[in-house]
Amino acid sequence: MEPEIIPAILVKRREDLVERISRVKGLVSSVHIDVMDNEFVPNKTVGPEDFSNLPAGVTYEFHWMVKNPEDWIARTKGKHLHVVHIEAVEDWAAIKAACQKSGGKLGIAISPATPLTKLEPVMNDVSRILVMSVTPGFDGQKYIQQVEGRISELKRRYPKIEIEVDGGISPATAGRARAAGADKLAAASAIYSQPDARKAIEEIRKAAGKQ
- Residue in 16, 34, 71, 125 annotated catalytic: 34
Using DSSP, how many helices (H) and how many strands (E) does the chain show? 7, 8
In angstroms, the CA 174 to CA 179 distance is 9
- Residue in 91, 166, 183, 196 annotated catalytic: 166
Indicate if 125 belongs to the active site.
Answer: no
Closest CA to 18 of 31, 27, 29: 31
In angstroms, the CA 48 to CA 43 distance is 16
Closest CA to 111 of 165, 36, 173, 46: 165
DSSP state of 25: B
Using alpha carbons only, what angle is made at residue 8 by residues 113 and 174, rounded to the nearest 5 degrees?
Answer: 70
Indicate if 34 belongs to the active site.
Answer: yes
C-alpha pair distances (Å), 141 with each of 31, 51, 134, 168? 19, 26, 6, 6
Amino acid identity of 41?
V
Contact between 37 and 62 (Cβ < 8 Å): no
* Helices 14-24 and 197-209: angle between axes, nearest 10 degrees: 60
Residues recognised as catalytic: 34, 166
